[in-house]
Amino acid sequence: MRSKKNISVIYNTGLVIVLILIHTTCAPKILTEKKEIKKSIFESKKTGKDATVDITEKDDIEALENEKKAIKPAKKVIKKIKPIISKNKSFDNIEWVQVDEKKDVLLFMQENTSEENNHYKAEKIINGNKGDQLYKNLTNFEIYPTIFPKTLLYKKIKLISRNKYLVYCQINFKPFKNRDYYIVLQKRIQIKQNSKEWIIEWSPVSRLSGNLPDIKGFTRVTELSGRWKIIEKDNRTKISVELYNDFNLPVVKSFALPFEKTATFDTLNQLVNYSIDSK
């Protein structure tokens, strides 16, 4: 006859085994980003088609599994966020015209400048495969104030879905009042036959169930969108940033033009200088 002690040991051992089996069979199987990229490259070569990498981060998985851990500001409002990207602000539909060049950086504007605000694109080609380093810095929001000096805060507020976030940003706008805004930011990696492409894009937040909280000392901006594109091919890296911003400046369009051009140049150069030139 078995003693109570032996029965207890058998019971506890069995419970541990059951818990292990539940964990290993029910837990989501998440590959690391490197494994996902290798898998996508293999699939792309095998099928002859482009592949998109699932770059969901470990923190994102935890947030998706336990939404209660999400940051709380305007929680009811945030749940109903939908990004808005109108057709005239889709960068793929713009006919770009080069308007300037500084230190190997090309500056473009949309061909039709009759709109109240302008679209800008800065582009640079770098020798070597630098995509991983550029992308790594662009997705590390904590170092944005170091990379981009005018950025006071760039904070991931909530995970909306895999690789899609609600982000809150504050920027120094001296001599004018500082600006802040909420955006929906998305990121993805695409593996093609002869190249690798990283894309980070953002769009305005709209169609809310209420208003996101105003921050004292800041003017809220609601119309802005943009996109970073990094393409590696033939041991060269092309990086570009596309911007459309309405910062509600109390000045005429012609006065804002040189300011906006300089800001577009600076945005690209600051990232390149931090990621590559300073290393």
What's the pLDDT at 103?
A: 87
Give the domain 49-277 fold: Alpha-D-Glucose-1,6-Bisphosphate; Chain A, domain 4 (3.30.530)
| 167 closest CA partner among 153, 179, 178 | 153
Alpha-helical runs (H) found in 83-147: 131-138, 144-147
Instruction: Name the residue ranges covered by the structural domains of the chain.
Output: 49-277
* Residue predicted with more confidence, 160 or 54: 160
Confidence band (pLDDT; 50, 70, 90) for 257?
A: confident
Q: What pairs with residue 156 in β-bridges?
A: 167
Predicted confidence (pLDDT) at residue 51 exceeds the cutoff of 90? no
| Cα–Cα distance, 259 to 24 (Å, whole number) | 56
Cβ 259 vs Cβ 251: under 8 Å: no
pLDDT digits (tens, 9 = 90+) for 137-179: 999 999 999 999 999 999 998 888 888 999 999 999 887 889 9
Cβ 158 vs Cβ 225: under 8 Å: no
pLDDT digits (tens, 9 = 90+) for 70-119: 444 445 556 666 666 554 457 888 889 999 999 899 999 987 766 667 89
